[in-house]
């Protein structure tokens, strides 16, 4: 914990970042920027976990480890997502999310 900074400050920070990421995810078209928005959201969640760990339950390190694993999952997810994006680009010559809707047919 940090002297003079309350838990709510962390939560407000992470909340703002999360919803900025959400807005980015919903409003952009390029798949790579979508992926980045996703990373932003995950990062916000990590901040939350760490803050809860530090402020509410500092005897243990659950939040800390959770954040650690989220980073691992994020890495896996990013690797897969980028593979998919590259493949889609090869197939459609575009990485516009609105154009990759052939699954609907």
Partner 1 sequence: MNWSMTILIPLLPLLSFVVVGLFGPRFGRKISGLIGTFSIVLSAFISLITAFKYFLSSGMDGHYSVIIPFNMEWLRFSDRLHIDMGILLDPISVMMLVVITLISSLVHIYSLGYMKGDVGYERYFSFLSLFTFSMLGLVIATNIFQMYMFWELVGVSSYLLIGHYYDKPSAVAASKKAFIVTRFADLGFLLGILMLSYFTGSFDFQTLTDPDQAAYTQNSGVAFLGLSVVSWALILVFIGGAGKSAMFPLHIWLPDAMEGPTPVSALIHAATMVVAGVYLVARLFPLYLHVAPDALQVVAFTGALTSLFAALIACTQEDIKRVLAYSTMSQLGYMMLALGVSSEINDNLGFTASMFHLFTHAMFKALLFLGAGAVIHAVHSNLMKDMGGLRKLLPLTSLTFLIACLAISGIPPFAGFFSKDEILSAAIASNKWYFAVELLVAGLTAYYMFRLYFRIFWNKQATFSTEIHEAPATMTIPLIVLAALSMIVGFIPFGQYVSWDMSAHHGHINWYLALSSTVVALLGILIAMKRFKGEVNPDATKTGLYRVIENKFYIDEVYVAITRNVIYKRISQPVAWFDRNIVDGAMNGVAWITNATSSRIKSWQSGQLQDYLLAFSAGVVVLFIVLMYLVR
Partner 2 sequence: MESIFFYLLALVILVFSFLTISSKNILRTAVYLLFVLCATAGIYFMMNYNFLAAVQLTVYAGGIVVLIIFSILLTHQINTRLELASLKKRLIAAVISFISAATFFWALSKTTWPDTNGGVADTSLNNIGLQLMNFGPNGYVLPFEVISILLLASMVAAIIIAKKFSHD
Binding site for partner 1 (CB under 8 A): 22, 25-26, 97-98, 101-105
Minimal distance, residue 105 CB to partner 2, in Å: 21
Query: Residues of 69-93 as b/e, b for ≥16 C-beta within 10 angstroms?
Result: ebeeebeeeeeebeeebeebeeeee
Q: How many CB atoms lie within 10 A of CB 46?
A: 19
Nearer residue to partner 1 within complex by CB, 90 or 104: 104
Phi, psi of 57, deg, nearest 5:
-145, 65
Which of 27, 49, 45, 25 has its CA nearest to residue 37?
A: 25
> Of partner 2, partner 1, none, which one does residue 33 interact with (CB within 5 to 8 Å by kind)?
partner 2
Residue closer to partner 1 by CB (options 13, 22) is 22
Of 76, 103, 104, 105, the one binding partner 2 (CB under 8 A) is 76
Locate tokens 């920027």: which residue?
33
**Does residue 15 belong to the site contacting partner 2 (CB under 8 A)?**
yes
Check binding of 19 to partner 2 (CB under 8 A): yes
Q: Is residue 58 within the footprint of partner 2 (CB under 8 A)?
A: yes
């Amino acid at each position: 914990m940090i002297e003079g900074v309350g838990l709510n400050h962390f939560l407000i920070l992470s909340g703002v970042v999360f919803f900025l990421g959400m807005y980015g995810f919903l409003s952009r078209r390029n798949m790579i920027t979508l992926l980045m928005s996703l990373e932003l959201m995950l990062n916000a969640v990590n901040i939350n976990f760490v803050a809860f760990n530090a402020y509410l339950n500092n005897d243990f390190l659950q939040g800390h480890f959770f954040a650690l694993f989220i980073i691992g999952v994020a890495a896996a997810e990013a690797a897969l997502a980028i593979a998919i994006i590259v493949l889609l680009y090869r197939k459609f010559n575009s990485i516009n999310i609105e154009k990759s809707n052939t699954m609907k047919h």
